[in-house]
Amino acid sequence: MAPPSAIGIDVEGVRDTEGIVLPDPLTVNGVSARRAKAGKLIAGTAAYTSSDFFKHYDASKPKARRWDHYLSLESKSRIPSSLKGAARHLKKPGIISLGGGLPCAEYFPIEELNMKIPKPPHFTEEETSKSGQIVRAGKYDVSEGHGIYDLSIALNYGQGSGSAQLLRFVTEHTEIVCHPPYQDWHCALSVGSTSALEQTYRMFCERGDYVLSEEYTFASAVETAAPLGVKFLGVKIDNEGLLPEALDELLSNWDVQSRGARKPFILYTVPSGQNPTGATQGTERRKAIYKVAQKHDLYIIEDEPYYFLQMQPYTGTDAPNIPPPRSNEEFLKALIPTYLSMDIDGRVMRMDSFSKVIAPGTRVGWITASEQVVERFIRHNECSNQNPSGISQLLLYKLLDENWGHDGYLQWLINLRMQYTKRRDSLLAACEKYLPSEIVSWNPPAAGMFLWLKLDWHKHPHANTKKIVELEEEIFLAAVDRGVLISRGSWFTAERVGFEATDLFFRATFAAASSEKMTEAIERFGVAVRESFEL
Amino acid sequence: MAALDTIALATATKAIDMSHHVNTHSKSRPPNFLKGIIQYMSYGGMVSLAGGLPHPSLFPFQSANIQTFPHSAEARPDQLISLASALQYGSGSGDASLVKWAHDFTKKVFKPAYGDWEILLHNGNTDGWAKIVRLLCEPGDYILTERHTFSSSQSVWIPMGIRAVPIDQDGRGLIPEALDAALANWEAEHPGIRRPHLLNIVPVGSNPAGTTMDGARRKEIYDLCVKYDIIIAEDDPYFFLQFPVYKLGESSDPTPIPQEEFVKSLVPSFLEFDTQGRVIRLDTFSKTLGPGLRLGYFVANPQFKDLLLRGAQCETQAPSGWSQAIVASLLSKWAIGGYLEWVSNLRGQYLRRRNWMIDSLAANFTIKPAADISIPGAEGFVAYLKDTDKPIFSFVPPTGGMFIWTRFLYSQSPRFLELQKDEKVEDPEKVFGDELWTTFADSLVLLGAGIYFEPWQGKDKQTTKAAGGEEGIGYFRLAYSYSTKEEMELGIQRFAAVIKDVF
């Protein structure tokens, strides 16, 4: 197994504390000035790192609240890895470490990696074939003076925070997008948000606790909590997702005796393009929910895999499309503010992931939260997955930082926005054409990958004799017979026991299939619905 | 005919039911509804709007290739990796070709004694071990560990309120009689507490002890595990770094051995004795290809494998697609033979490093075989201060792995005796050990302190005495994995100078 801490080499970071005049909030253009001031990033094998090295330190901002009263026994009992104490000695000039168990880079059999990536703004596969760049990562680039991150570092053990090189990028990105309003926010890499979520449950929940969420929610979030003895409790939703009034009411009337559990203090929410409903909370909705969280001292898990899949406003089949954002600034302004951006208390853990915006197979994401919470998270990383794959980190660094930069990455995200807009519009066009409007209704999603279809089951000929879930199964199987797979709404209920559905839903994705296939699939689904409803 | 029957029986052996070992956590995993979809995916002409997979045309990597080292001295291959599937969500089980490779490799090299074992990829052995703990252990449980155990293995279970039962080890690893005694007397000594049912062991190049367990010893341990119904977690990152016994004055440059001889020279895995499916083997590419890959695999019975997979689907999911793609393409190019050649060379490199370090100790101390001297508890070699008859520490030359584990006779130091006499000092071994470690660090040589490798037995058992440690004895771990030969020699010189001073 691995050494749990830095037994590596030169560890030097510069904390950005002194009188640099910085544009505040950080912009894409501000990054290069900050980096120039900080000097070349030197971070060798398993170098200790922290967001503090890379972010703007603003003493005028408040510090985050402490969450000791919510940390679980397990998390509180997590001790820093014992070899950590040795790390400070590593900075001594001339020290020889016989302490750690790092293998020697000489014995890593990969010498060089090349990959072909798009050159902004020419992002399509066709363009990349023609004009893409070949990016090379060598084994000893750093010592040979060709860069700041190479295979010898990436292939060795690393820190639970993730590598300094990629942590710098995500810290800057987070500051550009969210500019958190408190002082001591930090980022740490995760091996994806599913894993980050599981670790977060362990950090905050005890057996028997409830986690609050939208009444229909991401199935894996529920299934991950269940074996920990943690149940989900659904809060009513509307077209904009979670209803703050319903949340407030539920918490105000919480009765420990009858519920058999302490008052919930974790809210799990997917604010943009929620899975499965596709709902996106508007700015005012988020503010209102944050206020309820303050009132009841909730800790918010802001799970945002689809944040950058916010699409162009839907104009309908006949109206002309809205032109894409003309600049990165315009794009950033068009995004709905994050919870993190309004988090003056430090009560939000934001989960970002490269899964939907780069590729799921990278298995890299990151969290942003207060220093206290991030420190506990890193302790957990150290004794489980440790850190994301070094190869994934290196290639993401090469793509995002060394080649695209923040500017190119935002252009990529604009490109994704337009791609998903096109996909959504094509699915919606098919729905308008092929689904019986007297039965099926939907809200055009503003973000994400999913369309949530509501079927008016009252109009079903067997509405009086069959349960909603039975009708759902019947229609699901009829669709399968017609050659289309669509997810059943009941798969996504927050509460798995005793939940009585009052409506009939199906979830369709516009992420995976081509436009033609999607259209064909919706046509088939329309036939299945019509048959079941005997239209 | 009789012989044929035996073979037929052997290949048909299946793992026995182990469900009683599974903890509440794993048993209470709800079914994954989306799994209900999978059966329909294979229908001809089916279009799925059910999943949530991004379209591969939106992955910004078009192609990739790697330059790898040849496993031998032939031309360097240039390989193209297939990206679309590597970068997509997986089922959690990982790349099929990599799983198949690991399966074939396990069959050839580790030879499980039962038939229906399976492979599951994980994110390195630290992750694998954490998943095993979460599969099998309840809060308040006890885990069987080696007398000196790897600190990071503990950090996952200490917060779960679990404690260690350290089992004594000698130069051949865990001592069977000690294991038997701990379990035979369990009920009497721990009334009302469930008997431990999980053994965590690093049987090759034990971290920190550096010892390797031979086949005969393994058989004895395995039989005891059957007797007491124990699951063995065989954490084996150093398996291929097995070395012959060190001989004083042996050449520092070992001659390479042919592949077949190399494979034959390896001790058997616990799997080779495992007729019941009670071994979960943890293999990793960390020490053979690079830790940054965060890639390894379990070998486990089908029941455990399914539950581990179910856990992975809610936690890490499959390991990095990039890591999988690179390792899969490397291994398919190398094939099993090439990989064995690579690890055989690797072993030669680490063997040379081991010898450098022991040679360096021999240059700075007077080294005598422990068998020739009567120092209680000393095994292997005893190191004396040069030109004196003052023994300072003993060590068993590692027969595997990356570490030398030194056992210090603290009572040879006047400072220690002073601390021992001081009634205010509750734990003189710990205080002296800390002082000594700091003195080493101040003299620019960093060691692994013995205290890191003390099994956690609970808050009331933290002092050397309470934890069952020996009076006047302390340990330091010396790694020969990372530094250059020159650094190593300089480090050992500094180490010797400090010892001369303090002792």
The predicted model gives A245-252 an average pLDDT of: 98
pLDDT surpassing 80 at residue A376: yes
Portion of chain B with pLDDT greater than 90, in percent: 73
Q: What is the average pLDDT value for chain B, to the nearest integer?
A: 90
CA pair distance B122, A195, nearest whole angstrom: 13
**Residue bearing the bigger pLDDT, B222 or B59:** B222
How confident is the model at residue B77, as a pLDDT?
45
Measured in angstroms, the CA of A415 and the nearest CA of chain B are apart by 9
CA pair distance B163, B193, nearest whole angstrom: 12
Residues B135 and B343 sit within 8 Å (Cβ to Cβ): no
pLDDT surpassing 80 at residue B59: yes
The predicted model gives B180-185 an average pLDDT of: 96
Chain B residues with CB-CB distance to A106 below 8 A: 349
**Residue bearing the bigger pLDDT, A107 or B71:** A107
Cβ within 8 Å, pair A79-B41: no
pLDDT in tens, B126-172: 999 999 999 999 999 999 999 999 888 899 999 999 999 999 999 99
Cβ within 8 Å, pair B479-A96: no
**Residue bearing the bigger pLDDT, A104 or A478:** A478
How confident is the model at residue B11, as a pLDDT?
56
Q: How confident is the model at residue A8 (pLDDT cuts 50, 70, 90)?
A: very low
Give the pairing of strands B63-68 and A110-117: antiparallel
Residue B198: how many other CB atoms lie within 10 Å: 23
Q: Which two tokens stand for residue B369?
A: 């075989």
Lowest-confidence segment of A312-321, B418-427, B470-479 by average pLDDT: A312-321
Q: Which two tokens stand for residue A479?
A: 């669709």
How confident is the model at residue B1, as a pLDDT?
40
Sign of the CA dihedral running A157, A369, B32, A392: negative
Residue found by looking up tokens 């206020």 in the block: A291
CA pair distance B259, B340, nearest whole angstrom: 7
pLDDT in tens, B318-361: 999 999 999 998 898 889 999 999 999 999 999 999 999 999 99
List C-alpha distances in Å: A463 to A21, A457, B396. Answer: 67, 6, 78
* ipTM metric: 0.90
Cβ within 8 Å, pair B447-A109: no
Chain B residues with CB-CB distance to A129 below 8 A: 62
The predicted model gives A351-379 an average pLDDT of: 96
List C-alpha distances in Å: B322 to A33, A486, B92, B195, B328. Answer: 33, 30, 14, 42, 10
CA pair distance B123, B323, nearest whole angstrom: 10
Measured in angstroms, the CA of A220 and the nearest CA of chain B are apart by 6
The partner residues of A43 in beta bridges, in order of sequence, read A11
Measured in angstroms, the CA of A181 and the nearest CA of chain B are apart by 31
Give the pairing of strands A365-370 and A348-353: antiparallel
Chain B residues with CB-CB distance to A418 below 8 A: none
Residues B384 and B390 sit within 8 Å (Cβ to Cβ): yes
Residues A448 and A437 sit within 8 Å (Cβ to Cβ): no
Nearest to B81 by CA among A340, A123, A395, A32: A395
CA pair distance A78, A376, nearest whole angstrom: 8
The predicted model gives A129-145 an average pLDDT of: 93
Residues B499 and B443 sit within 8 Å (Cβ to Cβ): no
How confident is the model at residue A460, as a pLDDT?
97
Chain B residues with CB-CB distance to A166 below 8 A: none
Question: In terms of CA atoms, which chain A residue is nearest residue B123?
Answer: A385
Element (H, E) at B78: strand B78-81
DSSP string, A484-529: EE-EEGGGGBS--SS---SSEEEEEESSSS-HHHHHHHHHHHHHHH
pLDDT surpassing 70 at residue A507: yes
Nearest to B226 by CA among B276, B271, B268: B276
Cβ within 8 Å, pair A385-B67: no
Backbone angles phi, psi at B124, to 5 degrees: 100, 160
Residues B242 and B400 sit within 8 Å (Cβ to Cβ): yes
Q: What is the average pLDDT value for chain A, to the nearest integer?
A: 92
How confident is the model at residue A24, as a pLDDT?
66
pLDDT surpassing 70 at residue B251: no
Chain B residues with CB-CB distance to A86 below 8 A: 441, 446, 449
Residue A398: how many other CB atoms lie within 10 Å: 21
CA pair distance A120, A132, nearest whole angstrom: 9
pLDDT surpassing 60 at residue A147: yes
pLDDT surpassing 80 at residue B83: no
Lowest-confidence segment of A35-39, A263-267, B36-40, B385-389 by average pLDDT: B36-40
Element (H, E) at B215: helix B215-227
Cβ within 8 Å, pair B151-A100: no
Question: In terms of CA atoms, which chain A residue is nearest residue B64?
Answer: A115
Question: In terms of CA atoms, which chain A residue is nearest residue B34?
Answer: A491
Which ranges of B298-382 would DSSP assign to H, the alpha helix? 302-314, 321-364
How confident is the model at residue A290, as a pLDDT?
98
Q: How confident is the model at residue A18 (pLDDT cuts 50, 70, 90)?
A: very low
pLDDT surpassing 50 at residue A221: yes
pLDDT surpassing 80 at residue A78: yes
pLDDT surpassing 80 at residue B48: yes
Query: Is B168 exposed, middle or buried, given 0-12, 13-18 or 19+ CB atoms closer than 10 A?
Result: middle
Nearest to A52 by CA among A24, A17, A85: A17
Residue B288: how many other CB atoms lie within 10 Å: 24
The partner residues of A231 in beta bridges, in order of sequence, read A210
How confident is the model at residue B79, as a pLDDT?
54
The predicted model gives B439-462 an average pLDDT of: 92
Q: How many residues does chain B have?
A: 503
Q: How far is CA A282 from the centre of its chain?
A: 18
**Interface residue of A92, A275, A384, A420 to substitute, partner B, most B CBs within 10 Å:** A384
Query: Is B501 exposed, middle or buried, given 0-12, 13-18 or 19+ CB atoms closer than 10 A?
Result: exposed
pLDDT surpassing 50 at residue A17: no
Nearest to A10 by CA among A81, A82, A83, A87: A87
DSSP state of A228: G
Give the pairing of strands B231-235 and B279-284: parallel
CA pair distance A137, A190, nearest whole angstrom: 23
Cβ within 8 Å, pair B322-A480: no
pLDDT surpassing 90 at residue B71: no
Residue B72: how many other CB atoms lie within 10 Å: 13
- Considering only CB atoms, A192 lies closest to which of B317, B448, B452, namely B317
Cβ within 8 Å, pair B320-A450: no
- Considering only CB atoms, A109 lies closest to which of B34, B289, B483, namely B289
Give the pairing of strands A487-488 and B381-385: unpaired
Which ranges of B64-175 would DSSP assign to H, the alpha helix? 96-105, 125-136, 151-157
pLDDT surpassing 60 at residue A6: no
Chain A residues with CB-CB distance to B60 below 8 A: 117-118, 123, 128, 358-359, 399, 412
pLDDT in tens, A471-506: 999 999 999 999 999 999 999 999 988 888 899 999
- Considering only CB atoms, B126 lies closest to which of A124, A383, A388, namely A383
- Considering only CB atoms, B444 lies closest to which of A96, A364, A518, namely A96
pLDDT surpassing 90 at residue B235: yes
The predicted model gives A57-67 an average pLDDT of: 93
Question: In terms of CA atoms, which chain B residue is nearest residue A417?
Answer: B58
pLDDT surpassing 90 at residue B423: yes
